[in-house]
Structure 1
Amino acid sequence: MPARDIYHNMVKHALIKAGWRITHDPLRLQWGTRDMYVDLGAEALIAAEQQDQKIAVEIKSFIGPSEIEDLRNALGQFVLYRTILETTEPERTLYLAVREATFFAIFDEPVGKLLIEQQDLHLIVFRPDHEEVIQWIP
């Protein structure tokens, strides 16, 4: 089992507050002989526009010595997981969960905006101190 990100429980609680039911903690992906784990799997509980929605959430703290290295690693993991999910669970959308400070430091900058657009990157922006989701992109 992989180690949990330091924000794991905060994101989990934020999703529950936002009306999601956690179905997997973690969500196991399997391809060939390889096992991989996305941090969370969830289904919408409320709101008509979220009916039958399933998501997978990979949580990233971006606390390493290099933001660009953290970004490269997170993006590589995101692309790998999304590729497998598109085949095994095409109804599930993969999101990368980042804290608000990380969003503004990386994803609200030109390189982050380029990745969101060109890589079809889905983000959940959260506030760890309030355990709340503040933005879904897209």
Structure 2
Amino acid sequence: MLPAELYPDLAIEKYISEEQRQRKIIIEIKSFLGPSMMKDFEMALGQYIFYRDLIQLGQDEYQEIYLAIKDEIYETFFQRKSIQAVIKRHQLDLLVVNIEKEEIVQWIN
């Protein structure tokens, strides 16, 4: 059960490997369609950290949170040194998706 304050875009179970059990994860999907990608990133980062903290504080059944973004956004905006530094500092887990093909391109922890 999710903490009452959480309203994620997706809450799923992910199989890590055959030897390991499944993990329940939350995926927060961000489009970065606003007039400022930096402002969109700031909002996404704040929400990600807030959700991650709630998960950790609540000792909930959900163990991880991923920020899902389009592959085009990852390959451009997310490659900036400043953005990479923030991702590393806050240990963001990313899910890179190809919207046109409707497939996951990369899980990044």
Question: Does the alignment pair 1:104 with 2:75?
Answer: yes
Deviation at 1:109, TM superposition (A): 1.6
Q: Secondary structure at the match of 1:112?
A: helix
Q: Secondary structure at the match of 2:6?
A: strand
Whole-angstrom CA distance in 2 between matches of 1:49 and 1:97 = 26
Structure 2, gaps ≥5 residues long: none
Whole-angstrom CA distance in 1 between matches of 2:37 and 2:16 = 35
Deviation at 1:106, TM superposition (A): 1.9
Instruction: Give the 5 Å matches for 1:98-137.
Output: 98-137=69-108
- The total of aligned residue pairs comes to 108
Give 1:133's aligned amino acid: I
Whole-angstrom CA distance in 1 between matches of 2:55 and 2:88 = 20
Whole-angstrom CA distance in 2 between matches of 1:36 and 1:44 = 19
Change in 2 beyond 3 A, CA 1:115/1:90: farther
Whole-angstrom CA distance in 2 between matches of 1:87 and 1:105 = 34
Question: Does the alignment pair 1:73 with 2:43?
Answer: yes
Q: Deviations over 1:32-77 (max 9, x none)?
A: xxx3301111112584166321110000000000000000000000
Question: Does the alignment pair 1:40 with 2:10?
Answer: yes
**1:63 maps to which residue?**
33
Question: Does the alignment pair 1:29 with 2:27?
Answer: no
Root-mean-square deviation over aligned CA pairs: 2.0
Structure 1, gaps ≥5 residues long: 1-26
4+ runs deviating over 6 angstroms: none
Task: Kindly indicate whether the alpha-carbon contact (under 8 Å) linking 2:16 and 2:22 is maintained by their aligned counterparts in 1.
Answer: no
Whole-angstrom CA distance in 2 between matches of 1:66 and 1:96 = 18
Whole-angstrom CA distance in 1 between matches of 2:108 and 2:16 = 19
Q: Secondary structure at the match of 2:76?
A: helix
Q: Give the percent of matched residue pairs that are identical in Structure 1 and Structure 2.
A: 34
